[in-house]
Amino acid sequence: MRLFSRFLAALLLLSLLFSMTGCGGQSSLPSATDKPPTETAETNDEGNASSKKPIEIEFWHNYDAGAGQIDVLEQLIAEFERENPDIKVNHLYLEWSALRSNVFAGASTGELPDVLRGDIGFVPQFQSLDILFEMSSLPDYNDVASKIMEAPNSTAKMGDKFYGIAANTNTKILFYNKKMFADAGLSIPKTLDEMWDCAEKLSNSKTIGFVEAWTGVWNIGQYIWSYGGDVMAPDNSTATGYINGPVSVAVVQKLADLYKKKALSGPTLDPGALGDTDGWAAGVYAMEIDGPWRHTLAQAANIDIGAVQMPPGPAGSIGVLGGEDFMMFKTSDEQHREAAWKFIKFMVDKKAQVAMAKVGQMPVNKEAMSDPEALEALPLLPIFEEALKTARSRPVTPKWSDIENIIATKVAEAITGQKDVQKALDEAAAEIDNLLASD
Amino acid sequence: MDNTDNRNAHHKSNYAIKNNLHLLLLLIPGLAVLVLFTFYPIIKMAVMSFFDWKIGYSQTSRFVGLKNYVDVFTDPIARTALVNTLYYALITVPMQIALGLLTALLIYGIKKFSLTFRLLYYLPVITSWVVVALLFRYIFSNQGLLNYIITEVLHISDKPVGWLSTRWPALTATTILGIWKGIGWNMVVFLAALHAVPVELFEAASIDGANSVQKFFYITLPNIKGTILFALVMLFIGAFNTFTPINVITGGNPAHQTEVVLTWMYFQTFGTVGKMGYSAALSVIISLIVSVIAVILFRVIKPESRGGKL
Q: Is the pLDDT of residue A71 over 80?
A: yes
Dist. CA B74–CA B82, nearest whole Å: 13
Class of domain A4-163+324-388: alpha beta
Considering only CB atoms, A15 lies closest to which of B20, B39, B270, namely: B39
User: Which residue from A15, A23, A25 is facing B35, i.e. has the nearest CB?
Assistant: A15
Cα–Cα nearest to A289, from A317, A325, A253? A317
* Arithmetic mean of pLDDT, A350-369: 92
Say if residue B12's pLDDT is above 80: no
Segment 110-169 of chain A within 8 Å of chain B by CB: 110, 125, 128-131
> Which of A23, A107, A413 has the CB atom closest to B55's CB atom?
A107
Q: A351: closest CA among A368, A337, A338, A375? A: A368
pLDDT at B109 over 70: yes
CA A358 to chain centre: 21
Residues of A in contact with B35 (CB under 8 A): 11-12, 14-15
Residue A191 binned pLDDT confidence (cut-offs 50, 70, 90) = very high
Percent of chain A with pLDDT over 90: 70
Q: Looking at the predicted structure, is the pLDDT value of residue B108 above 80?
A: yes
Pick from A11, A273, A409: which is nearest to B256 by CB? A409
Q: What is the mean pLDDT of residues B265-273?
A: 83
Interval B120-159: pLDDT, tens = 989 999 999 999 999 999 999 998 999 999 998 998 888 8
Number of Cβ within a 10 Å radius of residue B263 = 24
pLDDT in tens, B215-230: 999 999 999 999 999 9
Would you place residue A26 in the very low, low, confident or very high pLDDT band (cuts 50, 70, 90)?
very low
Residue in chain A closest to B253 (alpha carbons) equals A268
CA of B6 vs chain A CAs: smallest distance (Å): 20
pLDDT score at B157? 86
What are B166-186's pLDDT values in tens digits? 999 999 999 999 999 999 999
Q: How far apart are CA B248 and CA B88, in angstroms?
A: 16
Q: Which of A2, A18, A103, A432 to mutate to test the interface with B (most CBs of B within 10 A)?
A: A18
Tell whether the model's pLDDT for residue B95 goes beyond 60: yes
State yes or no: pLDDT of A18 exceeds 60: no
Average pLDDT across chain B, whole number: 89
Q: Which distant-in-sequence residues (6+ apart) come within 8 Å of A71 by Cβ? A: A359
Query: What number is the ipTM of this complex?
Result: 0.84
Nearest-by-Cβ selection for B273 from A109, A125, A274: A125
pLDDT tens, A297-336?
888 889 999 999 999 999 999 999 999 999 999 999 999 9
Q: Which CATH class is domain A173-321+395-436?
A: alpha beta
How far away is chain A from the Cα of B91, in angstroms, using its nearest Cα? 21
Mean pLDDT for A147-159 is 91
pLDDT of residue A7: 59
Average pLDDT score over chain A: 88
The band of A247, judged by pLDDT with boundaries at 50, 70 and 90, is very high
Specify the 3-state DSSP secondary structure of B195.
helix
Q: Does B76 touch chain A (CB under 8 A)?
A: no
Same-fold call for A4-163+324-388 versus A173-321+395-436: yes
DSSP code string of B40-59: HHHHHHHHHTTEE---STT-
User: Touching check for B278 and chain A: CB below 8 Å?
Assistant: no
Inter-residue contact A414 to A257 (CB < 8 Å): no
Cα–Cα distance, A308 to A131 (Å, whole number): 40
Q: Give the nearest chain A residue to B274 (CA atoms).
A: A104
pLDDT of residue A16: 52
Which of A33-37, B2-6, B33-37, B233-237 has the weakest average pLDDT? Answer: A33-37
pLDDT over 70 at A27, yes or no: no
Q: Are B191 and B115 in contact (CB under 8 A)?
A: no
Cβ pair B57:A109 closer than 8 A: yes
What's the CA gap between A403 and A239, in Å, rounded?
A: 9
Hey, what amino acid is at B139? I
Which pLDDT score is estimated for B307? Answer: 45
What is the predicted pLDDT for the residue at B310? 43
Is the pLDDT at B305 greater than 90? The verdict is no
Residue A12: per-residue pLDDT: 56
**Residue in chain B nearest A100 by alpha carbon:** B270
Average pLDDT of the segment spanning B41-67: 90
- Is A50's pLDDT higher than 50? no
Among A59-63, A367-371, A431-435, whose mean pLDDT is lowest? A367-371
Give residues 86 to 145 of B whose Cβ lies within 8 Å of A.
140-144
- For residue B143, which residues of chain A lie inside 8 Å, CB to CB? 274, 282, 284
pTM (2 d.p.): 0.84
Rounded to 5°, angle at Cα B76 from B74 and B82: 100
With an 8 Å Cβ cutoff, are A26 and B253 in contact? no
Predicted pLDDT at A134: 96
Predicted confidence (pLDDT) at residue A344 exceeds the cutoff of 90: yes
CB neighbours (10 Å) of residue A269? Answer: 24
**Which segments of chain B does DSSP mark as H helices, in order?**
2-34, 40-48, 67-74, 76-109, 114-126, 129-140, 145-148, 167-196, 199-207, 212-215, 221-223, 225-240, 244-249, 261-266, 276-301
What was the pLDDT predicted at A68? 86
Res. A233: pLDDT tops 90: yes
pLDDT at res. A398: 83
Residue with the bigger pLDDT between B302 and A194: it is: A194
Contact A205 B159 (CB under 8 A): yes
pLDDT at A162: 96
Are A363 and A353 in contact by the 8 Å Cβ rule? The answer is yes
* Number of Cβ atoms within 10 Å of the Cβ of B211: 9
What is the homologous superfamily of the domain B76-309 according to CATH?
MetI-like (1.10.3720.10)
Confidence of residue A268 (pLDDT cuts 50, 70, 90): very high
Residue ranges of domains in chain A: 4-163+324-388, 173-321+395-436
Q: How far apart are CA A238 and CA A233, in angstroms?
A: 6
